[in-house]
Structure 1
Amino acid sequence: MVEERIRELAAEVGIELPPVRVTGDDPVLPSVFRVGGAAAVAVGAATAAAAALGGGGREVAVDVREAAAAFRDERHFRIDGVAGELWAPLSGDYRAADGWVRLHCNFDHHRDAALAALGLPPDAGRDAVVRACAGRAAVEVEESVTAAGGCAAAMRSRAEWREHPQARGVAAAPLVGLTRLGDTRLGDPGGVRAPRRGGRRPLDGVRVLDLTRVIAGPVATRTLAAHGAQVLRVGAGHLPEVPGLVIGTAFGKRSCHLDLRTAAGSAALRDLVAGADVFVQSYRPGALRSLGFGPGELAAIRPGIVCVDVSAYGGHGPWALRRGFDSLVQMACGIAHEGGDGSRPHPLPAQVLDHATGYLAAFGAMAALLRRSAEGGSWRVELSLAGTARWLDGLGRVDGAATPEPEVADLIEETDSAFGRLTYLRPPGTVGGVSPYWASPPPENGEHPPAWW
């Protein structure tokens, strides 16, 4: 199944990939969904694309257990032996008058919006939120919190989601959308430079701008860094973060701060774009375009650029501009409903939508680089968590609800950093028997200047 699905992905984006040797099979994590298979497909496709960019000729391999473990790497990440907090106190599932609703309150402004929508004071605790949700319909909470600028999702069944207008928009889009933005060809004045061959690593010389947060986007750029890309994360001091996730997904990257609301910050980003190969962003659709950094503008600044857009619910449909996170998309798309037999939400055993979308985004970026090498042009890659949820649903089911936790001790490594001693899972997959790796530990936020090196 894994090998066939990887071939389907390659055909979808119009590239050829070397064969992938797969070891292991589902179930590897406790779930009825084919989580291990999904992980192996996403990791295998990204690893094969890296091998193709490196010139091919070496065996590509992926192990299902190792790939599935990578989808939970934030659970194994430690700083001086201590795990970080991944969920804020008010984030979670709440029983509504007619079902369940989930609130995502990891960012303070999302928490404040949820409390305001529920008619609660800013210092309200979980008990007050429980009472407020219990007296309202789940969709009512979802809509009121969303309208207030927060993040929420009512639990829907698979059948209910399929009838939703946004589900129809998601179904009409490919899993990894790859489209050409312009007609620049190799060798044209101002065109793209051919990729450098013969480097030690497949993505040596490839420059990546990372304007992402949380998990999916940072996993995509961290994967590109693991195969040798120069990745510069562009954040800002005023943007909220989940500290543990930022550190754990920053291996192999540099980090700078730019305030894109200012003329100086915007000019600095334009200078960076002019020297970039790949631009990965996970802002809400249209947010960066409003600042002058939509795909068309990026291609005008840097002919030959690859623009990777990651969103929650896709770029089209009534929810295209809606904020969303993995746990919310699981609720909305029927995954949490099926996992709990409809009685209460039961999520996947990992942030599968985030991690799968991240690896698929890295795959899409590398597929676009391969197409650019052969055809020239600027390219756009589009993915959504909801699209990944639909794909996971289509992989079928497995009798895996009672599967024991897998052993991961052999996958864990340690390194020193500015934050202390880090414990982490090594990147999955191999090319020619060699695992990808990160050349540097996570940097401190904003540690570096906004410049290429």
Structure 2
Amino acid sequence: MTTPREALGQVWAVAGGDPDALGRVSVSGDDPMLPTDIRIGTAAGAVIAATGLAASEIWRLRTGRAQSVAVDMRAAIAAFRSERYLRVNGRPAPDGRSPLFGFYPTGDGRWIQIHANMPHHHAGHVRFLGCEETRESMAAAVAKWKAQDLEDALNAAGLPAGMVRPREEWVAHPHARAVAELPLLEIVRIGDSAPEPLGVGDRPLSGVRVLDLTRVIAGPEGGRTLASHGADVLLVTSPHLPNLPSHVIDFGLGKRSATLDLRQATDADRLRELITRADIFAQSYRPGALARLGFGPEEVARRRPGIVYVTLSAYGHAGPWRERRGFETLIQSVSGLAHEQGFGGGLGRPQHLPAQVVDHATGYLAALGALVALARRAREGGSYLVRVSLVQTGRWVDSLGRVAGRHLADQTEAEVDDLLATCESPFGRLTHVTPTARLSETPPFWARPPVPAGTHEAGWPA
């Protein structure tokens, strides 16, 4: 069983952080904190502390002044469930999730998860299965299939789904074996450039420009974290790609938002112009998707020597599933976490964890990688590729061990009331979880509220 401190040490080491810096960070609390045996709090506390420490190291490079970092695991848990606590004018934010999302038994006694939260996926699953838009009709259609056959067929059709597997079945899978060879986080130098001083400013990331081409939770969490330390984060969304309303609001904190259609030459050229003045380029498209449009890491680094290119995928960049569409809950389903949470708890069916730990942790790891790469650029120059994936994070979460926690009641909103703040926004009055890491000199905060997609011009302030 891994302690929060040990987990922090693992994350900091794989990022290449200075071991001496660990003496300036503390993590209080321990699992269990939620109704699960999975060490969600340990994972949350470790990655948030590591990211806060990396931000403090950027500050030390800027000013020569070290500062302490503290993370309370109760607050870290709340941060990993931030979308649950989001309120708009005192009411839960509309999430837009499909009623067809979830687990279904198959004809061979197995289970499969259908991911239908995006409108085109919802329509695609209904069309593929030839069913009506009700859970009852979809269940009847799914029951005609064997789980493995349906998983293969749906994914071949570009529809996200995953057969629920126990852990021992997953670790023997060819894709699991392929990603087992990958580290939790990769920071690779991909080009040469002169060192770039971090400049002046009253926050760790003052003056740092981030292009955020991510959606859903993990990638946007990374951008939101960078914004909390003072980065100028420009969210660039596509007009033809959907997102869930609650995610737009919750993970838009601290960001400006522009819309570009990269299929159009003028918009693609505009993004190229933005890249020349950016420090970080973050994207969460499937491996190879942006490269086919001319925005792969090598192309971006040639256009902007010194760029930090962050790529986040579902299933990683190696193995037979590397180009498969995926989401956090599917990682839980295929890798054994949902099987353990449900069947291990005596439910007789799979169940997702009480927090999207893989999503949020991957977002913080993306931010951590970007921060460490920025520090390296300041000291030694170079362009950098940062790679993280949901499946690699899920493997790490699974490795942290277990603690008896199924007996606990779920964390309520009242229990985290002291961790919430309010702000006015174009969506209304928002109640949201505040940044978790406590930096003694530069506490993180979001300087602007979230805005609807396309509110801003695609440009950098003069």
TM-score range, shorter chain: over 0.9
For 2:106, the equivalent position in structure 1 comes to: 96
Letter in 2 for 1:225: A
**Residue 433 of structure 1, CA deviation:** 6.5
Letter in 2 for 1:155: V
Tell me, yes or no, if the aligned pair for 2:203 and 2:442 is still in contact at 8 Å: no
Identify the match of residue 297 of structure 1 among 299, 302, 312: 299
List aligned pairs for 1:150-299, cutoff 5 A.
150-186=159-195, 193-197=196-200, 199-299=201-301
Q: Are 2:110 and 1:105 aligned? A: no
Distance in 1 of aligned mates of 2:133 and 2:35: 35
Distance in 1 of aligned mates of 2:342 and 2:241: 35
**Residue 405 of structure 1, CA deviation:** 3.0
For 1:47, the equivalent position in structure 2 comes to: 52
Moved more, 360-369 or 123-132: 123-132
For 1:190, the equivalent position in structure 2 comes to: none
Tell me, yes or no, if the aligned pair for 1:118 and 1:145 is still in contact at 8 Å: no
Identify the match of residue 351 of structure 1 among 353, 356, 365: 356
For 2:133, the equivalent position in structure 1 comes to: 124
Tell me, yes or no, if the aligned pair for 1:117 and 1:144 is still in contact at 8 Å: no
For 1:397, the equivalent position in structure 2 comes to: 402
1:36-60, Cα deviation, whole Å (9 max, x unpaired): 0100001000000000001151111
1:119-163, Cα deviation, whole Å (9 max, x unpaired): 33xx53221101011121112221111112111001001011001
Aligned CA RMSD, in angstroms, stands at 1.3
**Residue 354 of structure 1, CA deviation:** 0.3
SS of corresponding position for 2:91 = coil
Letter in 1 for 2:310: V
Distance in 1 of aligned mates of 2:240 and 2:174: 35
**Residue 434 of structure 1, CA deviation:** 5.7
Distance in 1 of aligned mates of 2:441 and 2:41: 21
**Stretches of 4+ moved more than 6 A in 1?**
none
SS of corresponding position for 1:255 = strand
List aligned pairs for 1:400-415, cutoff 5 A.
400-406=405-411, 407-415=415-423
Letter in 2 for 1:99: R
Identify the match of residue 426 of structure 1 among 426, 434, 437: 434
Distance in 2 of aligned mates of 1:438 and 1:116: 42
Structure 2 gap ranges (5+): none
* 1:434/1:196 CA distance change after superposition, 3 Å: closer
SS of corresponding position for 1:54 = helix
Tell me, yes or no, if the aligned pair for 1:102 and 1:154 is still in contact at 8 Å: yes
Tell me, yes or no, if the aligned pair for 2:4 and 2:30 is still in contact at 8 Å: no
State TM-score, norm by structure 1: 0.96
Moved more, 177-186 or 229-238: 177-186
Tell me, yes or no, if the aligned pair for 1:116 and 1:148 is still in contact at 8 Å: no
Distance in 2 of aligned mates of 1:2 and 1:141: 39
Tell me, yes or no, if the aligned pair for 1:40 and 1:62 is still in contact at 8 Å: yes
For 1:369, the equivalent position in structure 2 comes to: 374
Distance in 1 of aligned mates of 2:366 and 2:275: 19
For 2:17, the equivalent position in structure 1 comes to: 15
Distance in 2 of aligned mates of 1:84 and 1:444: 14
Identify the match of residue 388 of structure 2 among 363, 383, 390: 383
Structure 1 gap ranges (5+): 187-192
Distance in 1 of aligned mates of 2:216 and 2:449: 18
